[in-house]
Chain A
Amino acid sequence: MNNLLEINNVVKNYGDFRALNDVSIHIPKGSVYGLLGPNGAGKTSLIRIINQITMADAGSILLDGEPLSPKHTADIGYLPEERGLYKSMKVGEQALYLAQLKGLSKTEAKKRLKYWFDKFDISAWWGKKIEELSKGMAQKVQFIVTVMHNPKLLIFDEPFSGFDPINAQLIAKEILQLRDEGATIIFSTHRMESVEEMCDEIALINKSNKILDGKLADIKREFRTNTFQVGLNTANPNEVKAQLKESFEVFPADFKLLGEEMTMNVKLGETNSANDLLSFLTTRGEVQHFVELIPSANDIFIQAINKNS
């Protein structure tokens, strides 16, 4: 069994509104899986179904090969986008309570909490109430209560919101470490730069349908436009451009280089290879810059959504 989570043909309706339409997603063990999509696409509905907060109207969900059942709540850690803690409850008591709800014994929970509190250097907060902490501090506590029961599956919905860049970096590092220790991670976000940084695979949901999924690298390959950024030192830029246009498509550059060289984006035609372009350029001047324009997760997101609608 290579997939930790298999979501097959899941349908969810709220009254007349269909929130998820025949969505299938397979999440490999030990991966960071990006669940992307615009607001209202159905991501939260899907996440809530995985967490058994709501039930799917149709379709099946297998966790580690077994149909999802209430005992699995202990195998899942969930950091919702709408999150918070009991304001007037003390940090330590609260963490113990939430850990016990996830099935840990009190002694085990205490041990794990001590580890995490030491790790984040927040042991001094144990007896404080949440309302006495800053938002970032509360978020750290929230992160700990999400992961402390060592779940097989971790679901983070916008995990970095509310964190400053330093703490966001810390959390990102922790998430990747958890993956390396064997956890599988579902990562839902609008922040595409963190998708690039973290995700091995992604699925894109738009208007209740999954419109795209697979390894991030494969998807990028699929979305590549065979366009190259070119920087060339040449005496006759206009002549070069005119000659290039005979066999390639040339666009104005969308980047800046340090020198005075001519810059442009060049798209290979059907019959040309990157080598053809490069060898042509070397005959016309000194190549300063030659990089394939790889679509960013952001580009893919926008393109796929636009195409879909």
Chain B
Amino acid sequence: MSKLTLIIKREFIAKARNKSFIVMTFLSPLIMVGMGALVYFLMKKNDEKVKEIVYVDQSGLFSKEDFKNTKTLHYQDFTTLGVEETKKKVEAGNHYGALIIPKQDSLELLAKSIEFYSKDSPGMSVMGALESKIESKIRNEKLNNFGIDIAKINASRIQSDIKMYNFSGEESSKLINGLKIGVGVIAGYFLMMFVMIYGTSVMRSVIEEKTSRIIEVIVSSVKPFQLMLGKIIGNASAGLLQFFIWGILLFIIITIASSVFGVDVAEMQTSRIPADQLEAVQKAAGGDKMQLVIQEILRLPILKMFILFIFYFLGGYMLYSSLFAAVGAAVDNETDTQQFMLPIMLPLILGVYVGFATVINDPHGPISVAFSYIPLTSPIVMLMRVPFGVSWVELVISMSLLIITFVFMVWLAAKIYRVGILMYGKKPTYKDLYKWLKYKG
């Protein structure tokens, strides 16, 4: 067996046999599902609570028809009670809130002078519902004043569903766009989590070898670079195993949970898609949502995405974890790592933020493109862009830059690592690290 294989095996076993690793592997999915169920339960509870809203309409503009009860909001007309009495009742806690519609000379003034009183500040959804009610009523009123027939306006409403094509013949729709966002975001986020968890695990493993003082024994048998590489690969293998087990466990738990509690898996999944896209799904599918979702997924360039995912995932992880290894080598204990961690974490977090902020809105915009070229952010940002179709030219540029940077960074990290592992005592400064780079062999 080659030395590298031996090191990978040892690192893998050391990691996978660790008690906290085993506990995390089997407990995390339970915790995740538990949390998910809790949030779902609480949201349901919250939604079920009916809020009673009373209104005083002095303008006489609104009718009972305008304040129809919904699932969560019930309305009562308190116009006859008067403003002061109504406020008192709400203050006493009998009702959730009071909507006061005063009499005004013009509709414009009216729109600005409506007030809402409540004991607790109302949520966005409540205010949104009230405002849209008032806006549509006043708009209809104005249309009426202009002599426009509302029935005609309503009849003229039409929804257009533009089918999107690009010149390579791929058809897309709003649904598939949502899916692309979902897939990209999950891939990018997954990469960031993996780098953070297993990069720091590599770092910890380096520090452990330093503090236990075994490092000098090891490097008298193997090259420091081999050791570093073995560590990085060994930890990644343990990580992949963990994610694999999580995947299986999550699948099992969700299957069991849905059959026991009768949760509709299909409903849960589609409910993650933004509402406007969901509408499109429902319209198009005529009820059979899952089938459509699967059809749409199959229309994504799956093989290309898979290959690119592997490439950027490995590239990104290796790039970052070699830097983590260098940090581990530079210090004697974990508390000293912080000053060196920040510059590593920064581009990682930046990648995710840029991905969330720009790629979702404009996957081929200048900022998305730039960050998908910059090697430290490209693994995350490019992974988010890939589902939207990225040309091979762009991919080649981005991948070449990543490879060049990767080789350079690993070389740099290996130099720091090689010197650092044998240095004890004083916490090094950036100046020291720079000096180490100049040491020969």
Contacts and interface: CB of A to CB of B under 8 A. Distances in A.
A147 B440 CA distance: 30
Contact of B220 (A15, A76, A100): A76
A53 B217 CA distance: 10
Nearest to B216: A80
Nearest to B209: A86
B123 interface: no
A266 to B, nearest CB: 49
A84 B10 contact: no
Contact of B441 (A55, A83, A97): A55
A64 to B, nearest CB: 18
B6 interface: yes
A14 B216 contact: no
Given A48-B422, A101-B3, A101-B6, A84 B212 contact: yes
A145 B217 CA distance: 9
Interface in A103-150: 142, 145-146
A76 B218 CA distance: 12
B435 interface: yes
Given A53-B422, A80-B216, A86-B212, A98 B221 contact: yes
Interface string A43-63: 000001001111111000000
B216 A102 contact: no
Contact of B440 (A57, A84, A97): A57
A108 to B, nearest CB: 13
Interface in A75-89: 76, 78, 80, 82-89
Interface in A210-268: none
A52 B216 CA distance: 11
Contacts of A97: 6, 10
A84 B435 CA distance: 28
B213 interface: yes
Contact of A82 (B216, B222, B439): B216
A14 B213 contact: no
B6 A100 contact: yes
Contacts of B208: 86-87
Contacts, number: 72
A93 B216 CA distance: 19
Given A53-B422, A84-B212, A101 B218 contact: yes
A70 interface: yes
A9 interface: no
A73 interface: yes
Interface residues of B, number: 27
Contact of B439 (A15, A51, A76, A83): A15
B220 A78 contact: yes
Contact of B214 (A52, A54, A56, A85): A85
A87 B220 contact: no
B213 A82 contact: yes
Range of interface residues on chain A? 20 to 34
A62 to B, nearest CB: 18
A27 to B, nearest CB: 17
Contacts of A51: 219-220
A89 B221 contact: no
B49 interface: no
Contacts of B212: 84-87
A218 B115 CA distance: 107
Nearest to A73: B221
Nearest to B435: A15
A89 to B, nearest CB: 7
A77 to B, nearest CB: 9
A48 B435 CA distance: 19
B40 interface: no
B424 A102 contact: no
B440 A55 contact: yes
B89 interface: no
Contacts of B14: 86, 88-89
A13 B208 CA distance: 28
Interface string B406-432: 000000000000000010100000000
Nearest to B17: A88
B304 interface: no
Interface in B188-224: 208-209, 212-214, 216-224
A85 B439 CA distance: 28
A80 B217 contact: yes
Contacts of B218: 98, 101
A301 B422 CA distance: 28
A53 B420 CA distance: 12
Nearest to B441: A55
B219 A53 contact: yes
Contacts of A80: 213, 216-217, 220
A78 B217 contact: yes
Contacts of B424: 82
A14 B217 contact: no
Given A14-B439, A101-B222, A83 B6 contact: no
Contacts of A101: 3, 6-7, 218, 221-222
Interface of B: 1, 3, 6-7, 10, 14, 208-209, 212-214, 216-224, 422, 424, 435, 438-441
Given A78-B217, A145-B217, 18 more contacts: A53-B216, A53-B220, A53-B422, A55-B441, A56-B441, A82-B213, A83-B213, A84-B213, A85-B214, A86-B14, A88-B14, A89-B14, A97-B10, A98-B217, A100-B1, A101-B3, A101-B221, A101-B222
Interface of A: 13-15, 48, 51-57, 70, 73, 76, 78, 80, 82-89, 97-98, 100-102, 142, 145-146
22 contacts: A15-B438, A48-B422, A51-B219, A53-B224, A53-B422, A57-B440, A78-B216, A78-B217, A80-B213, A83-B216, A83-B217, A84-B213, A84-B217, A85-B217, A86-B214, A87-B208, A87-B212, A97-B6, A100-B6, A101-B3, A101-B7, A101-B218
